[in-house]
Amino acid sequence: MSEYLLEVRNLQTRFELFRGTVKAVDGVDFTLREGEILGLVGESGGGKSVTGFSLLGLIDPPGRIAAGEVIFRGENLLEKSEEEMRRIRGKEISMIFQDPMTSLNPLQSIGRQIGEMLALHTPLSPADRRKRSIELLREVGIPNPEDRLENYPHQFSGGMRQRVVIAIALAANPKLIIADEPTTALDVTVQAQILALMENLVKRFGSALILITHDLAVVSEMTHRVAVMYCGRVVEEGPTRELVRHPFHPYTKGLLESIPRLSGERSRRLPQIPGMVPSLFDLPPGCSFAPRCGYATDLCRHEAPRMRAVAPGRTVSCHNPVQGGEEAEGHGR
């Protein structure tokens, strides 16, 4: 087995629509080690959620995974049958979604929903399943877990519901958890609770985590490494601290600078990235970011850049990376 828990190579997911083909994920590569937390970050339409769904083979027509490999513990998931995938989902890889209200069944008690996961993926007896469910609820910080087992999702607050979802995701002790905007629907104090909880559990259970989010600040506090996506491609990847301090890709730099800060100098205007994300039906030739990029040259407008290493552990897909990964500056530091 390789040194990686997960290796994604040249992943391509397309949606064949009446208006044309959308390359939602267009040649994505990344790797993940055991116990590692990777952030997939970008704005809407970047392809980060579709990447997450593709890993689990959860792409419905008109979408399809057109090419690539998803090597998980040495086996290519894209070659597995639906039957085999069903045994992997939840047991080996589980997923946490943004909205805890829609990911829980409103008509079943949460005890039953956790129990179902355990029944599917573990050999536990009904009595042991109940015991384990109580343990899991205690693990995710739900008070009086014995009594709460009989409760229904609407009897929990948003933060508590997300804790239940996390308990279900952890039930079968998966090797990998994919969390798609897990705290976006929550208030900041509750978000802080949930992020701290996820970080602790991942550490204790030894799982790896892919955190999909638009929030660079969350990524910078939570993850070990980060991959920045734009228009279906990873444009930059590297260790989180270094990438946040010294971005190489002009898009990463622009994103970082456009976030207002909580401390330090405060400039009157925020640096902004001009224009907007192009339509995926009508991507510009060459680099997708070129029309919004202050560093773009003729080469960028004609030829799409390839991913290349620029520093140890750092890769970037750009013809004119920001020189020496200069400090994301402009305001706020």
Partner 1 sequence: MAGSGRNALLEVTDLVQSFSQPRGILDRLAGRPVKTVHAVNGVSFDILRGEVFSLVGESGCGKSTTARTVVRLLEPKAGRIVFDGEDITAYSPSRMMPVRKKMQMIFQDPYASLNPRQRIKDIIMEPMLFHRTVSGKEEAESRMLSLLDIVGFRPEQADRYPHQFSGGQRQRIGIARALATNPSFIVADEPVSALDVSIQAQVLNLMMDLRDEFGLSYLFIAHDLSVVRHVTERLGIMYLGFIVEKGDRDSIFGRPLHPYTEALLAAAPTLDREKAAAPLQGDVPSPITLPPGCPFAGRCPRKMEVCDARRPSLLPVEGRMVACHLYGEE
Among 60, 79, 106, 263, indicate the residue that binds partner 1 (CB under 8 A): 263
Q: Angle, nearest 10°, between helix axes 158-170 and 188-205? A: 10
Among 95, 160, 164, 166, indicate the residue that binds partner 1 (CB under 8 A): 160
Q: Is 157 in the site for partner 1 (CB under 8 A)?
A: yes
Assigned token pair, 237 = 């990847």
Point out which span in 53-61, 70-78, 103-111, 263-271 binds partner 1 (CB under 8 A): 263-271
N residues, the chain: 333
Among 82, 260, 312, 323, indicate the residue that binds partner 1 (CB under 8 A): 260
Q: Is 323 in the site for partner 1 (CB under 8 A)?
A: no
Tell me the three state secondary structure of residue 277.
Answer: coil
We find the least distance from the C-beta atom of residue 332 to partner 1, in angstroms, to be 8
Q: Is 242 in the site for partner 1 (CB under 8 A)?
A: no
Q: Provide the β-strand partners of residue 284.
A: none
Among 221, 239, 283, 301, indicate the residue that binds partner 1 (CB under 8 A): 221
Among 49, 94, 220, 317, indicate the residue that binds partner 1 (CB under 8 A): 220
Q: Is 188 in the site for partner 1 (CB under 8 A)?
A: yes
CB within 8 A of 307, min separation 6: which ones? 29, 234, 237, 315, 316, 317
- Mark residues 274-313: x for contact with partner 1 by CB under 8 A, - for none: --xx------------------------------------
Please state, in angstroms and rounded to a whole number, the distance separating the CA atoms of residues 155 and 26.
42
Measuring CA to CA, how many Å separate 93 from each of 179, 215, 305, 321? 11, 23, 32, 35
Residues 195 and 219: beta-carbon distance below 8 Å: no
CA angle 260, 265, 268 (to 5 degrees): 65
Point out which span in 7-15, 47-55, 86-94, 255-263 binds partner 1 (CB under 8 A): 255-263
Among 159, 232, 305, 321, indicate the residue that binds partner 1 (CB under 8 A): 159
Q: Kind and range of the H or E element at 274?
A: none
List residues binding partner 1 (CB under 8 A). 43-44, 157, 159-160, 187-193, 195-196, 214-218, 220-221, 241, 244, 254-256, 258-264, 266, 268-273, 276-277, 333
